[in-house]
Structure 1
């Protein structure tokens, strides 16, 4: 069943729609004006909005325009209601972003048919997104297998060269022909070889970690009772040992989720901020937690410079990285994190930039098991 917001300045119309929808098991929010509806929509993010067109002050058309201008509500479909059958009004309603319309007086069968059509479209879109994410995961695995060959090959080459240098030094030592200059050159050569091996093996290790993260997406979740304060304090303590300042603002709430996967999500976000966000010295990374209906809402931002030279859509694509960080970044953390939230935690995510760096708004069910 869905969360639906209905908007009408006439109480009787609200009551009729509430009765029709609640009898089908839907959770219904009601607003007597466009202004109230906007507040409710931003706070609760309903799956569908049914709004009267003709209302005083802010009419349904203006409400729809505002909804479509907000990044948090732009995805919510709007069905319009009007007593008028004038073609120009219906056309205008569809032009501002409406997906369908219902005429007064209400016919329960028509209302439910149009609502069900939109809900089926929403589910179909979610399914398409999941299938697309699954395809992306497969592409990632194939891509990683290809990408890992380069640093691994470089490390093997460096170690082979290192072995050759040591062999020559040992032979010279055994033959008592080893000079101080030859020893110094050999040690310098060896030091460079070790450094090259280390850099490339660290890159291989990053790819291996990503493979483990991808495996978490597909594995069965193992939910356990958690507390927001305790969970975040553990996260804060772990990262403080690495010298990272993490500021927490959270409601005290019990919930159920896969702890390892949730930790993985925040570890990835924090690690990515440290590597790429050009953080402000002395400014803490921030996690705010609130409750929205039956969801825990995590808001994460790092006060960094945000995305530069890349869009949010590009950030979520595999093997694409920002131009801010080091060249050793594998370009997979954002897409894997998004998949963990969507698939493993059965949640939703929204990325935006509000002047505090890249923001992740993550919602997971209070009971995500």
Structure 2
């Protein structure tokens, strides 16, 4: 069974949780403070943490933030504990990285159901590791399978909490005890829950999109005859509808390649620039095209801030981002793009740092059939 760390400043609560979990065969570590919990987490690397929110000195929120800030403990799921009438901190608890919550007084069936859900997600993650993929693709797929658990779990929990609020309001309405203040409080809390759900589902959608991009590397390509000018005009048109300006400098040329994958490459680059590049409003993203011996050279640069504070090697690692701009960005644009170019399109790439922002030199064979 699993190794689980439980954290609560009330000894009686620890004893109850220990009994519930040990009866199921789990090995339980108990900590009466956040500081002690951190030491146990670093020493034993438990599979799951269950922590009370309200504790002195280091509360559950601070504990979770600290766990998520360490490479050794950031992947440990954290389930929060809160009294039924103390739901104000639940949204914040999920925002800092919690995956679920349990209410007090403890109900053994609820505790075990929520624990088993997280353990099943962990098992699914371990199973994904065993898949026979290339080393880089395996790292990305496993990473996404794990990373997607947090926003998905938070969204599910937000919906459950929203349902609970509606049930309470409907009950009060049916009993004719619903006050205006209770209704306003319920609607306000519901609005927060809906917003949390929406943010996390959008993040899930980002991960799903990246999974589709990764799958492109493994699937057979469909090369067709392409026109450089037509391809880039379509790209300009698509992004122009999103108020993103692209300046193209190219000569007409024909080549054979997979159009969908090539468009994905440029879309990934542009999305990354928009999310993290801090682009200048008076500068359009530039794409220059040159004809080389047996290949087409695309030079992409965005006039943004470039690779400030991060090396080219780091940028190509999965789940690494510049940490600027869109905080919901999943940090896979660069490595996915690199693998699409080299594996799917049989091309080559080079990242450059020449003071023109994020800059990629991409070489695509004239005929990749």
Q: TM-score, normalised by structure 1?
A: 0.63
User: SS where residue 244 of structure 1 aligns?
Assistant: coil
Q: Contact 1:287 / 1:301 at 8 angstroms: preserved in 2?
A: yes
**CA displacement 1:78-110 (0-9 Å, x = unmatched):** xxxxxxxxxxxxxxxxxxxxxxxxxxxxxxxxx
Partner of 1:363: 363
Partner of 1:183: 183
How far apart, CA to CA, are the structure 2 residues paired with 1:134 and 1:351? 23
How far apart, CA to CA, are the structure 1 residues paired with 2:283 and 2:168? 52
Q: Contact 1:352 / 1:360 at 8 angstroms: preserved in 2?
A: yes
**CA displacement 1:316-340 (0-9 Å, x = unmatched):** 0111111323332211110000000
How far apart, CA to CA, are the structure 2 residues paired with 1:250 and 1:175? 72
Partner of 1:308: 308
User: SS where residue 291 of structure 1 aligns?
Assistant: strand
Number of residue pairs aligned between Structure 1 and Structure 2: 237
**Structure 1 segments of 4 or more deviating over 3 A?**
none
How far apart, CA to CA, are the structure 2 residues paired with 1:223 and 1:285? 27
User: Within 5 Å, which residues of 2 pair with 1:254-273?
Assistant: 254-273=254-273
User: Within 5 Å, which residues of 2 pair with 1:1-369?
Assistant: 134-369=134-369
Q: Runs of 5+ in structure 2 lacking a partner?
A: 1-132
How far apart, CA to CA, are the structure 1 residues paired with 2:301 and 2:173? 58
Q: Contact 1:227 / 1:253 at 8 angstroms: preserved in 2?
A: yes
User: SS where residue 198 of structure 1 aligns?
Assistant: helix
User: SS where residue 134 of structure 2 aligns?
Assistant: helix
How many angstroms does 1:139 deviate by? 1.1
Q: Contact 1:308 / 1:323 at 8 angstroms: preserved in 2?
A: no
How many angstroms does 1:148 deviate by? 0.9
User: SS where residue 185 of structure 1 aligns?
Assistant: helix
How far apart, CA to CA, are the structure 2 residues paired with 1:251 and 1:272? 26
How far apart, CA to CA, are the structure 1 residues paired with 2:293 and 2:134? 29
User: SS where residue 291 of structure 2 aligns?
Assistant: strand
How many angstroms does 1:134 deviate by? 2.8
How many angstroms does 1:282 deviate by? 2.4
Q: CA RMSD in A?
A: 1.1
How far apart, CA to CA, are the structure 1 residues paired with 2:148 and 2:227? 38
How far apart, CA to CA, are the structure 2 residues paired with 1:176 and 1:254? 74
How far apart, CA to CA, are the structure 2 residues paired with 1:247 and 1:172? 60
How many angstroms does 1:222 deviate by? 0.2
Greater radius of gyration (CA): 1
Q: Contact 1:309 / 1:323 at 8 angstroms: preserved in 2?
A: no
How many angstroms does 1:217 deviate by? 0.3
How many angstroms does 1:176 deviate by? 2.0
Is the deviation greater in 335-344 or in 175-184? Answer: 175-184
How far apart, CA to CA, are the structure 1 residues paired with 2:152 and 2:279? 31
